């Protein structure tokens, strides 16, 4: 195992000097906190008392036996993740196909759809809160359309739709760029051959473009998945978890337990469960999607 280090001292030293800084930084940012998280999750602790009480796996038992907040937050996160992943990818592929047709305004369109992605999600949430609360009233008055008169942040079902819509609005430009890059690597002659064989545009898309887009789909779904499981910022500023606590995500629920309710041990136990869930889901997703990819 240490064969490379067995050669010369100077080489060993150089390897150490080159790699040690990054290892220290990553240890401080991730590994040491992660080890501390495991320890904290076994404690009953409010963060202030000098003697946290060791309670073994009781936190985990309590979470799984009956924590209504956690269950509803988990359910919200799963629903959100599924709807978000499907919507953002389908819409981005659709837009990318249109933008790949080399329209005159392609450059402008790409820029326009990308702009929300450079904005902070917290701020995006506030801007939309303003629009849902104040803007829709004026828009409803001037257009007379009923959809502007609904309570988009005040009714649980609609608040869910609003959160998904705002997230998709903010991030679609990113996925669009990935898909455009993927489409540009689809060879033209394949599409032409299919046209000669009599395949219409729809058939060409299903049988040629989509399979060759598989690597981009894998990456985009992976990114959408990891981001949607961690959804926090946009909810904090858009609904604050409301109405009636129906829009708490797991990440928000953990934040609430640790920093608002001072249940440090309990909150970190939930955080560990989130980590395990993310690990399992992403590994399954990656292995499933990798298997379906074709080399272009």
Partner 1 sequence: MKTISAGRKRTGRNRAGRIALEIFMVLLSLVFLYPLFLAINNSLKSFGEVMSDVVALPKQLAFENYSYVWSFINYPRLFLNNTVITVVGLVGIILVSSIAAYKLSRTKSRFSAVLYVVCIMPMLIPFQSIMLTVLRLAQDIHLNNSTWGLGLLYWGFGAPLAVFIYHGFVKGIPKEIDESATIDGASGFRLFFSVIFPLLKPVTTTIIIIDVMWIWNDFLLPLLMVNGSPSTKTLTLAAYTFVGQYTSDWQYAMTAMVMAVLPSIIVFIFLQKFIVKGVVAGAVKG
**What residues from 95 to 114 belong to the interface with partner 1 (CB under 8 A)?**
98-99, 101, 103-105, 108-114
Residue 72 beta carbon to partner 1: minimum distance, rounded to whole angstroms: 17
CA 272, distance to chain mean position in Å, is: 18
User: By C-beta, is 75 or 259 nearer to partner 1?
Assistant: 259
- For the record, the structure tokens of 100 come out as 């790949």
**Interaction with partner 1 in 189-218: which residues (CB under 8 A)?**
215-216
Write the interaction track for partner 1 spanning residues 235-274; mark x where CB under 8 A is met and - where it is not. Answer: --x------------xx--xx--xx----x--xx--xx-x
The values of phi and psi at residue 43, to 5°, are: -115, 155
Strand, coil or helix: what is 246?
A: coil
Write the CB contacts of 6 (distance below 8 Å, at least 6 apart in sequence): none
Can you tell me whether residue 55 is helix, strand or coil? coil
Contact by Cβ (8 Å): 246, 160: yes
Nearer to partner 1, 83 or 228 (CB): 228
Is 181 one of the binding residues for partner 1 (CB under 8 A)?
Answer: yes
- Residue 237: C-alpha distances to residues 114, 233, 246, 254 (Å): 21, 7, 15, 16
* 119 lines the binding site for partner 1 (CB under 8 A): yes
Query: Taking CB under 8 A as the criterion, which residues in 53-92 touch partner 1?
Result: none
State the burial class of residue 108 (Cβ atoms within 10 Å of its Cβ: 0-12, 13-18, 19+): exposed
Q: Which of 78, 91, 97, 131 binds partner 1 (CB under 8 A)?
A: 131
Please report whether residue 162 would count as binding partner 1 according to CB under 8 A. no
Q: Which of the ranges 81-89, 94-102, 190-198, 203-211 carries the binding residues for partner 1, by CB under 8 A?
A: 94-102
Question: Of all helices (H) and strands (E), which one includes residue 43?
Answer: strand 43-44
Size of site (CB under 8 A) for partner 1: 92
Q: Is 225 in the site for partner 1 (CB under 8 A)?
A: no
Q: Is 169 in the site for partner 1 (CB under 8 A)?
A: yes
Q: Does 37 bind partner 1 (CB under 8 A)?
A: yes
CA–CA gap between residue 77 and residue 94 (Å, rounded): 25
Asked if residue 161 binds partner 1 (CB under 8 A), the reply is no
Our finding on whether 51 is near partner 1 (CB under 8 A) is no
> 22 or 65: whose CB is closer to partner 1?
22
Is 284 among the residues that bind partner 1 (CB under 8 A)?
no
Could you give the CA distance from residue 290 to residue 296 in angstroms, rounded to a whole number? 14
């Amino acid at each position: 195992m240490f064969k490379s280090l067995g050669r010369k001292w100077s080489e060993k030293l150089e390897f150490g000097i080159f790699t040690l800084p990054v290892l220290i930084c990553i240890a401080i940012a991730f590994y040491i906190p992660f080890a501390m998280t495991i320890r904290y999750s076994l404690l009953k602790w409010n963060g202030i008392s000098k003697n946290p009480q060791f309670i073994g796996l009781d936190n985990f038992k309590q979470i799984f036996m009956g924590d209504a907040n956690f269950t509803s937050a988990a359910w919200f996160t799963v629903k959100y993740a599924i709807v978000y992943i499907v919507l953002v990818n389908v819409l981005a592929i659709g837009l990318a196909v249109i933008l790949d047709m080399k329209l005159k305004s392609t450059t402008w369109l790409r820029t326009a759809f990308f702009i929300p992605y450079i904005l902070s999600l917290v701020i995006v949430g506030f801007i939309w809160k303003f629009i849902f609360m104040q803007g829709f009233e004026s828009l409803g008055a001037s257009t007379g359309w009923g959809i502007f008169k609904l309570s988009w942040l005040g009714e649980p079902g609609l608040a869910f739709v609003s959160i998904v819509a705002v997230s998709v609005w903010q991030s679609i430009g990113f996925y669009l760029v990935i898909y455009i890059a993927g489409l540009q690597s689809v060879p033209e002659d394949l599409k032409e051959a299919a046209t000669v064989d009599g395949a219409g545009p729809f058939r060409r898309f299903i049988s040629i473009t989509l399979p060759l887009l598989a690597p981009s789909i894998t990456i985009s779904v992976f990114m959408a998945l990891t981001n949607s499981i961690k959804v926090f910022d946009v909810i904090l500023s858009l609904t604050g978890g409301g109405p009636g606590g129906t829009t708490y995500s797991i990440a928000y629920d953990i934040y609430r337990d640790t920093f608002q309710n001072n249940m440090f041990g309990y909150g970190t136990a939930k955080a560990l469960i989130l980590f395990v869930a993310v690990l399992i889901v992403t590994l399954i997703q990656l292995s499933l999607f990798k298997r379906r990819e074709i080399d272009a």
